Amino acid sequence: MRHVLSVLVNDQPRVLARVTTLLGPRNFNIESISVGESEVEGLSRMVIVTHGDEWAMEQVQKQLYKLVDVIKVNDLSDHPAVERELLLIKVGAGPTTRMEISGVVEPFRASVVDVGPNSMMVQATGERAKLDVLIELLRPYGIKEIARTGVTALSRSMAHASV
């Protein structure tokens, strides 16, 4: 099963290395990791997307807690959560296809952020699956480059759990 772990860590050099070193030998398949500042000064939030059964997830959480730099681990899959990823994609686009591409990306609430003579760059945010679909739709135009941030996520407030 897919899990999204939200891990509060000390904002210290090497903390990402400590976490990945720990997951490595336990054969953890990591779909994505993203790290950034959190609401607490000195702490970063790391969002890890991974797959594993209940046993593996329990193990990995306990092992993470053994790292001195890990403050808190939450499995966001246990509760409603918002998951987002940012995609930047550069596709081939000449004068004839620009309009068409703009039309394709529009329903995704994506925007064109750069235009060159033979290409344009599209920015999109959303859940991973949605971005995957967008990439497939853009493939026929010729994908030149892709950059994705990996998933970041926060649990929803209880009152809005159904939104």
Partner 1 sequence: MGQTATVLGGHTKSAESPETMYTGSEILLRCLIEEQVEILFGYPGGSVLPIYDSLYQGELRHMLARHEQGAIHAADGYARATGNPGVVIATSGPGATNLVTGIATAKMDSIPMVCITGNVPQQLMGTDAFQEADIMGITMPIVKHSYLVTDVRDLPRIVKEAFHIASTGRPGPVLIDIPKDVANAKDKFHYPEAVSIRGYQPTSNPHPLQLARLRKEIAEAKKPVILAGGGVVISGAEKELMEFAEQAQIPVITTLMGLGGFPGKHPLWLGMPGMHGTYAANHALLETDLLIGIGARFDDRVTMGRPDIFATKAKIVHIDIDPAEIGKNVDTFIPIVGDVKKVLQGAVNDDLLRSDCADWIDKVQGWYKSYPLQYQDSEEILKPQWVIRHLYETTGGDAIVTTDVGQHQMWVAQYFQFAQPRSLITSGGLGTMGFGFPAALGAQLGKQERTVISVIGDGGFQMTNQELAIASSANIPVKVVIINNQNLGMVRQWQEVFYKKRYCDVDLSGSPDFVKLTEAYGVKAWRATTKEEAIHAWAEALAHPGPAIVDFWVAPEENVFPMVAPGKGLDEMIMGDEEE
Mask for 22-61, x = binds partner 1 (CB under 8 A)? x-xx-----------------------------x--xx--
Least gap, CB of 61 to partner 1 (angstroms): 9
Least gap, CB of 2 to partner 1 (angstroms): 22
Q: Which is nearer to partner 1, 2 or 62 (CB)?
A: 62
Q: Which is nearer to partner 1, 71 or 143 (CB)?
A: 71
User: Is residue 74 a contact partner of residue 4, using CB atoms and an 8 Å limit?
Assistant: no
Binding status of residue 156 toward partner 1 by CB under 8 A: no
* C-alpha to C-alpha distance for 70 and 29, rounded to whole angstroms: 20
Q: Let me know the angle formed at the C-alpha of 72 by 67 and 73, rounded to the nearest 5 degrees.
A: 90
* C-alpha to C-alpha distance for 159 and 163, rounded to whole angstroms: 9
Q: Which one, of 72, 52, 65, 54, lies nearest residue 22 by Cα? A: 65
Q: Which residues bind partner 1 (CB under 8 A)?
A: 10, 13-14, 17-18, 21-22, 24-25, 55, 58-59, 62-63, 65-71
